[in-house]
Chain A
Amino acid sequence: MYDFNYHRPGSVDEAVGLINEDAKILAGGQSLLPTMKLRLAQPSDVIDLGAIPGLSDISVDGSSVTIGATATHASVAASGAVAGAIPALADLASGIGDTQVRNVGTMGGSVANADPAADYPAAVVGLGATVHTNSRSIAADDFFTGIFETALEENEILTKVSFPVPEAAAYVKFANPASRYAIVGVFVAKTADGVRVAVTGAGGSVFRASAMEAALNANFSASALDGIAVASDDLNSDLHASAEYRAHLVAVMAKRAVQAAGG
């Protein structure tokens, strides 16, 4: 990879002060470093959040699970408190990559990177989470704006995400057998404000399946999804799966997720 200036700030404020237009934030590096090794990214400065105290904290109260930006997937997957409050979230974290990737990769890195095939965006949107940064809070529905694009401004660092505890939820994905990225993943949550269905892997960015949500609000069971087709027009097509196959997988994964959530 190309060389860069490395920074290891001790606080979020210090990290924000180091940002420039060619800088990159390193939260775990399991996506950023491979991208840099391939010379697809050439940051002038790498700002490592790994030494900031408290940024990896996980806390659970009666109504929400709050995960710090640098909490690793392994720590979320192993957290009894997370598994007790939102088992689907711990389950999702346990299915990312492999053990070694989970030991280093972070929640904040995954959410801020907004890979179209990443798992965490499905939980953020599926649960209607709130993304907190150093300067503001952003609703999940406003956060993901496109392929690898989010509402984060250049001088903004994601610090934590608060996931409301649902009545029931499940995440089911059809994983790429090599990378474990979602070819299609569907997060279904039954909340006090209605059912949310978030789809990752299928399109350019995570999206909600509103027709499925309406059907599940009327009848929270897998059979309620019978006959609800997802249009393949805007879905991804690559060597792993055609857009038509992904559309089919969305329906299948959604049904399985509803069943897993007790519907």
Chain B
Amino acid sequence: MPNVSMTVNGKAVSAEVEPRTLLVQFLREKLSLTGTHVGCDTSQCGACVVHVDGKSVKACTTLALQHEGADVTTIEGLAQNGELHPMQAAFKEHHGLQCGFCTPGMVMSAIDLVNTHPNPDEQTIREGLEGNICRCTGYQNIVKAVKAASDNMGG
């Protein structure tokens, strides 16, 4: 089996994988990073969103082998020294979740959104999160949380 090496949450990792191994399977099953979820498994719901070289991607629709040498960040890699990332803190503060299943992907997409659109207005947030589905329909507080976080992310 081929080998793949990448950096995940700041740590160098390497493993043998079947070529058909999806990035999300690599993260969850090889690295036991189960914070990244598999929802629809058809690149629609966004529960599997992680950052690859700083950009949000759907980890269920990309092969682990495509990311040889890449820098990957998952929800587990956001908190630093026990401090929540401002986006995580805002989701907690504004109750931007109900069941929590979509939350890891929602947070990862929201960080990419604020990085590319500093200080977004409500419409920009809603359009920017169109690749993430909250089946509890908790969008009101998610949008509030993203707006609040953008104020704390230097946007």
Contacts and interface: CB of A to CB of B under 8 A. Distances in A.
B61 A104 contact: yes
Nearest to B51: A103
A103 B41 contact: no
Nearest to A179: B44
Contact of A100 (B22, B57, B66): B57
Given A1-B20, A6-B2, A99-B112, A33 B62 contact: yes
A100 B20 contact: no
B63 A101 contact: no
B96 interface: no
Nearest to A104: B57
A135 interface: no
Given A30-B43, A33-B61, A178-B44, A99 B128 contact: yes
Contact of A3 (B20, B68, B113): B20
Given A34-B43, A103-B56, A29 B61 contact: yes
B16 interface: no
B49 A100 contact: yes
B80 interface: no
B19 interface: yes
A3 B63 CA distance: 12
Given A3-B20, A46-B63, A100-B43, 9 more contacts: A6-B2, A6-B19, A29-B62, A33-B22, A50-B66, A97-B131, A101-B43, A103-B57, A178-B44
Interface of A: 1-6, 8, 26, 29-30, 33-34, 36-37, 46, 48, 50-51, 74, 78, 97-101, 103-104, 178-180
10 contacts: A3-B18, A8-B65, A34-B61, A48-B65, A99-B56, A99-B128, A99-B131, A101-B43, A103-B55, A104-B61
